[in-house]
Structure 1
Amino acid sequence: MTSRLLATALSLSLLAAYPTATAKTPVATGTGGAVATISDQASQAAMAILNKGGNAVDAAVAAAATLGVTDPFSCGIGGGGFMMVYLARDKRVITIDHRETAPAAATPSLFLSNGREIDFETAVASGASVGVPGTVRGWHEALARYGTMSFKDVLAPAIGVATRGFPVSETFSHLTAQNETKFRRFASTSALYLKGGKALPPGHVLKNPGMAKAYREIAAKGYRAFYSGPMARAIVGAVNTPPVASGVKVRGGAITMADLANYESRIRLPVRTTYRGYEIYGMGLPGSGGIAIGEALNILEGFNLKALPRASAEHLYLEASRLSFADRNAYAGDPEYVDVPVAGLLSKDYAARRRAQVSMERALGKTGPGDPYPFQDDASVPLRPQAARLLAESAHTTHLTVSDKQGNIVAYTFTIESWGGSGITVPGYGFILNNQLTDFDFSGPHPNVPEAGKRPRSSMAPTIALRDGKPAFTLGSPGGSTIITTVLQTIVNHVDFGMPMDRALNAPRMSQRNDTITDIEPGFAGTLQAKGLERIGHKFNPVPEEIGAANAIAFHADGTVTAVSEARRHGVGSALVQKPAR
């Protein structure tokens, strides 16, 4: 990678010249760098960095920081994430785990009261749900190890958007309205995001001087500005004594200054499997998405999906997803706390064993986990945990993807968990704190119960695929546990059904997560396809809703790239390339 650029003039020029939002285009093909996000301001921020000579890592952080302004209820510096980076010069994939951690005071009874699990929504809207944020430390590691620019450079576009403001979209307003009750509980949040206790209307120009201040402090002092000093004290105060509205009571947390100062991100190896000639790289633990997708693909590889009727192929997709989720729910957790049989779960022989359970004539229904331990080189006698129920998991995350002209790629999923996280905005700094600790299982025994310093299991699944040693595509999505099925179904659409990436990404989605019902999108119920699947035992959620909001880049043999975002979901995404094809 190129040497670090130090010119202060770059930051000033980006802040002054950063373009405002334009009409979003969800598909763009051309040469040079490319970006796909759900926000045009974020995509423009990444493109501004690429055009100034930054690489994909620099551009990804710029886009992520801007998303923290324009999509503050799904992501931001109050949360954490998983960044996957393909280094073109070295031809290798690395991952940066900056998932939130439980504070040192956390115990397995964190969400128990008198021995019983507390109400999930009560747990969410509280300081007790807040994990130690990892996003800023993750950005620092990415820039210091693999970037070419400084925080001052890459945060400039986001500072500009936060300072000037941006028009609230219909999607932003609608989703805010759905969460007015939570936001009204916290004075700092309602003052910024509500007007008269109601959601800001579409077209309202929302400025966030507090977030601009936070970014300026990080730009000036680096990641330590977040993890020590005034900003850290503000975070600790907001968690432990939440800034509630008059008459409101919520549970406080127990984060300390030491928890923040001691936070570390992790550089981890990705998980890898092969599928029909592709090398599929995913995020490893504590991310469960890469493992679950890999296992499902291994199961599907034993079927010739192209030769089957579409309904039969989709039946197999649902069954493979069901089986991989049964295993994911039973075994996945923080690898620093539990032994997880990753090699067994990704074994082709284990996939064959699981594949044998699939019938073409009848859906399995909710099923138990398999036993992957005999399929890995492990002579110990490990704990074989019991299957756990699938807890509620936020669908409000965000994913972005960036590539540069040198061939480097970033696939980045980050989040504050639920829509609006814990609901707590840090006073004076304008960012919302996560509720990531509710991703733990509330009671055990289970690999994913809360413990001091532990990272909760995640479904985030940034994915990079190579073919013949060269990048083929990169893909990811928000959506809680539906992230896994969104990425899996898009891969099947693209690889097995031969759909171009834009069609593969925009096709109707179904999500089966080892439950009695399969989630579907509007318009599917009652179709011939739905009736065919119902005849062999599939049952569908009677309340359809949007699934995921994916972003992808496809790399073509002629050297061109196609950036793809959603054409309909979540208010239409934004895809840009440096040199559009004529």
Structure 2
Amino acid sequence: MPKFRRASRALHTCSVTLALVLAAPVALAKTPQASGRGGAVASISEQASQSAMAILNRGGNAIDAAVAAAATLGVTDPFSCGIGGGGFMVIYLADQKRVVTIDSREMAPAAFTPAVFLQDGMPMDFDRVVASGASVGVPGTVRGWHEALQRYGSMSFKQVLAPAIGVARQGFAVSPTFHRLTTENEGKFRQFAGASALYLHDGKALPVGALIRNPGLARAYGEIAARGQGAFYGGPMAQAIIEAVLRPATAQGVTVAGGAMTLADLANYEARIRQPVHSRYRGYELYGMAEPSSGGVAVAEALNILEGYDLKAMTRPQVEHLYLEASRLAFADRNAYLGDPEYVEAPLTGLLSKPYAAQRRGLIDARQAGVTGSAAGDPYPFQDDRSVVLRPMAAPAARAARQESAHTTHFTVADKAGNIVSYTFTIESWGGSGIVVPGYGFLLNNEMTDFDFSGPAPNVPEAGKRPRSSMAPTIAFKNGKPAFTIGSPGGATIITTVLQTIVNHVDLGMPMQQAIDAPRISERNGAASSVEPGFAESDQGRALALLGHRWEATPEEIGAANALVFNSDGTVTAVSESRRHGGGAALVQHAAH
């Protein structure tokens, strides 16, 4: 094992003194569900939900509140998200009755080639690439916030960043979940001076109840508040980002690879305004995220497959068997066809068509689990004349889902005027690359590891390309009115969490809180399905095992969903996790009595 020195001793000592000597603030009581009128928010962080509510109470709209919540999550949940990463925002504009989406996904630097993660023709070690400058994509979050505020918001960066700046300066108490995540990533954080200084003490995670302040991040937000997105993509902050990527500050005896990002890569980054994926399911109209996310397409295809069954008349194990099989087939197609739409022309009309879903449905045996590594289908005959896509010369081979980090965050906000935001954003793995930008207190992503390291595949690395994502922020409507929102973190399990929650709520009739709290199972066309602790031994698990389903050896918590439900009486119910990730925080402007 390499020996680590206490890098940047002054900074490290200052951080630890703040964390271990100052009294921690009183923990805020979180509630996972709230109903009432006016605006509403559901997130995994009490401080983030409070920031959103503060903006709503000051007259801001849902877009303003979403940026405020996201910025605060960058302080309190820095291992999952932040301005060093990217994401996808689905927005409903009530006055226009229109859904728009903002793609602020990270982008590959101009120096990238399809062989960037190959050494002697073989894929590099995944974990070594993660903890390096080579894994860092050009961050898109700040540009995405800028587009959201400029186009659809009503407040300035200075106004919406104020709550997060306050949390960064005043600090927050280390929760049991924060402590656990830090402990699990001690090895990565020890490699980097900045991460060690912020989050470790003598190489170990800060204890529960310790106070973390992040003056560097408060400075970063302050510069963005003063100068807008230009402060991030040019000037001293941009220079510090490039320096951190090219020459990561590491502990003594540790060597990690640098990246190849330039100031031009930052200056040239653009967020994209994209058309949402639109689908129908049992009377609902669903709007999700288009490519480079695969979430909207995969969820829609799986629901199209399931729509051919009378799920309400079936037992829960029967429903879950079909849900798993629909997921398997949707993932086979997702892996074969989807990628950055500026580089890959996918047969989307075919993949989303009901007749194609019927063909795929015909492959499902209601009494037996499908084969491992199911082959992709052929959606090209289902393309219409308006969406002609050239068929590949050879049928795509079956491709198992590659390793994809399960760490992100999702939240959702609505305002009294009816505007809605469903937003998922990330820095990829817990703690991203592990590299903290010196002087600015935020972690850089490792999003480039979302590319397939080798091809041929639609998701191989290329200059300027955005890696395929599984993020699936979703807004559902019924009879032309908002019905619910749903989204989750979890890497590739995002797709199955969103899909399973919709099935639980729509088909099994569960109230949204119950639909979110129900045990999760995730099939991604692999050798075995992911399950949560205790599921394999449950009656459900045993019933599915009799149908041939197999479970991964190590159960783990899947996702951390947040939702809004728009009730027929005009009230709104905000719903978050009651247990996973330490439980979430649901708030409404005017609580129902």
TM-score category (smaller protein): over 0.9
Q: Is the 8 A contact 2:376 2:396 kept in 1?
A: no
Find out whether 1:373 has 2:380 as its counterpart. yes
Q: Deviations over 1:199-249 (max 9, x none)?
A: 011000000000000000000000000000000000000001111111110
Q: Is the 8 A contact 2:191 2:251 kept in 1?
A: yes
Give matches, 1:33-48, under 5 Å.
Answer: 33-48=39-54
Match for residue 229 of structure 2?
223
Find out whether 1:534 has 2:538 as its counterpart. no
Match for residue 186 of structure 1?
192
Match for residue 18 of structure 2?
none
Q: Secondary structure at the match of 2:410?
A: strand
Find out whether 1:258 has 2:264 as its counterpart. yes
Find out whether 1:330 has 2:345 as its counterpart. no
Match for residue 108 of structure 2?
102
Give the C-alpha shift of residue 106 in structure 1.
Answer: 0.4
Q: Which amino acid aligns with 1:152?
A: K
Matches of 2:388 and 2:71 in 1, distance apart? 46
Match for residue 568 of structure 2?
557
Give matches, 1:306-317, under 5 Å.
Answer: 306-317=312-323
Give the C-alpha shift of residue 118 in structure 1.
Answer: 0.4
Match for residue 206 of structure 1?
212
Q: Is the 8 A contact 1:365 1:515 kept in 2?
A: no
Find out whether 1:420 has 2:426 as its counterpart. no
Give matches, 1:503-542, under 5 Å.
Answer: 503-542=514-553
RMSD of aligned alpha carbons? 1.0
Matches of 1:548 and 1:414 in 2, distance apart? 13
Give matches, 1:460-539, under 5 Å.
Answer: 460-539=471-550
Match for residue 150 of structure 1?
156
Give the C-alpha shift of residue 390 in structure 1.
Answer: 1.6
Give the C-alpha shift of residue 532 in structure 1.
Answer: 1.4
Q: Which amino acid aligns with 1:359?
A: D
Q: Deviations over 1:279-310 (max 9, x none)?
A: 01110000000000000000000000010111
Find out whether 1:246 has 2:252 as its counterpart. yes
Give the C-alpha shift of residue 528 in structure 1.
Answer: 2.2
Q: Which amino acid aligns with 1:69?
A: V
Distance 1:20 1:94, change over 3 A: farther
Q: Which amino acid aligns with 2:391?
A: P
Matches of 2:357 and 2:514 in 1, distance apart? 28
Give the C-alpha shift of residue 380 in structure 1.
Answer: 5.2
Matches of 2:482 and 2:552 in 1, distance apart? 37
Q: Secondary structure at the match of 2:116?
A: coil
Q: Which amino acid aligns with 1:382?
A: R
Matches of 2:553 and 2:520 in 1, distance apart? 15
Distance 1:379 1:155, change over 3 A: closer
Give the C-alpha shift of residue 381 in structure 1.
Answer: 3.6
Match for residue 357 of structure 1?
363
Match for residue 382 of structure 1?
391
Distance 1:189 1:469, change over 3 A: same
Q: Is the 8 A contact 1:21 1:40 kept in 2?
A: no
Matches of 1:159 and 1:280 in 2, distance apart? 35
Give the C-alpha shift of residue 365 in structure 1.
Answer: 2.2
Find out whether 1:458 has 2:464 as its counterpart. no
Find out whether 1:400 has 2:406 as its counterpart. no
Distance 1:528 1:168, change over 3 A: same
Give the C-alpha shift of residue 145 in structure 1.
Answer: 0.2
Please, which of 178, 183, 194 is the counterpart of residue 177 of structure 1? 183
Q: Secondary structure at the match of 2:226?
A: helix
Q: Secondary structure at the match of 2:143?
A: helix
Q: Is the 8 A contact 2:104 2:271 kept in 1?
A: yes
Match for residue 195 of structure 1?
201
Q: Secondary structure at the match of 2:412?
A: strand
Q: Which amino acid aligns with 2:294?
A: S
Please, which of 133, 144, 169 is the counterpart of residue 138 of structure 1? 144
Match for residue 85 of structure 1?
91
Match for residue 161 of structure 1?
167
Match for residue 281 of structure 1?
287
Q: Deviations over 1:223-279 (max 9, x none)?
A: 000000000000000001111111110111000000000000000000011000000
Q: Which amino acid aligns with 1:399?
A: H
Match for residue 590 of structure 2?
579
Give the C-alpha shift of residue 524 in structure 1.
Answer: 1.1
Please, which of 436, 440, 445 is the counterpart of residue 429 of structure 1? 440
Matches of 2:571 and 2:389 in 1, distance apart? 49
Q: Which amino acid aligns with 2:419?
A: N
Instruction: Give the alignment's TM-score, normalised by structure 1.
Output: 0.96
Q: Secondary structure at the match of 2:455?
A: coil
Q: Which amino acid aligns with 2:200?
A: L
Match for residue 59 of structure 1?
65
Matches of 2:90 and 2:279 in 1, distance apart? 16
Find out whether 1:127 has 2:133 as its counterpart. yes
Moved over 6 A (4+): none
Give the C-alpha shift of residue 81 in structure 1.
Answer: 0.3
Give the C-alpha shift of residue 527 in structure 1.
Answer: 2.0
Matches of 2:345 and 2:396 in 1, distance apart? 11
Q: Deviations over 1:107-147 (max 9, x none)?
A: 00111111110000001000000000000000000000000
Matches of 2:59 and 2:370 in 1, distance apart? 53
Matches of 1:170 and 1:379 in 2, distance apart? 52
Give the C-alpha shift of residue 20 in structure 1.
Answer: 7.7
Distance 1:254 1:20, change over 3 A: farther
Q: Which amino acid aligns with 1:398?
A: T
Q: Which amino acid aligns with 1:470?
A: K
Q: Secondary structure at the match of 2:422?
A: strand
Q: Which amino acid aligns with 1:372?
A: P
Q: Secondary structure at the match of 2:340?
A: coil
Give the C-alpha shift of residue 447 in structure 1.
Answer: 0.6
Q: Is the 8 A contact 1:75 1:414 kept in 2?
A: yes
Matches of 2:445 and 2:271 in 1, distance apart? 17
Q: Is the 8 A contact 1:489 1:509 kept in 2?
A: yes
Distance 1:83 1:21, change over 3 A: farther
Give the C-alpha shift of residue 21 in structure 1.
Answer: 5.3
Deviates more, 1:542-551 or 1:407-416: 542-551
Q: Which amino acid aligns with 2:69?
A: A
Q: Is the 8 A contact 2:37 2:592 kept in 1?
A: yes
Q: Is the 8 A contact 2:405 2:490 kept in 1?
A: yes
Gap regions ≥5 residues in structure 2: 1-24
Q: Which amino acid aligns with 1:111?
A: F
Q: Is the 8 A contact 2:436 2:444 kept in 1?
A: yes
Q: Is the 8 A contact 2:332 2:400 kept in 1?
A: no
Matches of 1:213 and 1:106 in 2, distance apart? 31
Matches of 1:456 and 1:518 in 2, distance apart? 24
Q: Secondary structure at the match of 1:253?
A: coil
Q: Give the length in aligned residue pairs.
A: 564
Matches of 1:264 and 1:251 in 2, distance apart? 27
Match for residue 409 of structure 1?
420
Matches of 1:266 and 1:361 in 2, distance apart? 44
Give the C-alpha shift of residue 379 in structure 1.
Answer: 5.0
Q: Which amino acid aligns with 1:250?
A: V
Match for residue 13 of structure 1?
none
Matches of 2:348 and 2:229 in 1, distance apart? 33
Distance 1:43 1:21, change over 3 A: farther
Q: Which amino acid aligns with 2:418?
A: G
Matches of 1:568 and 1:268 in 2, distance apart? 34
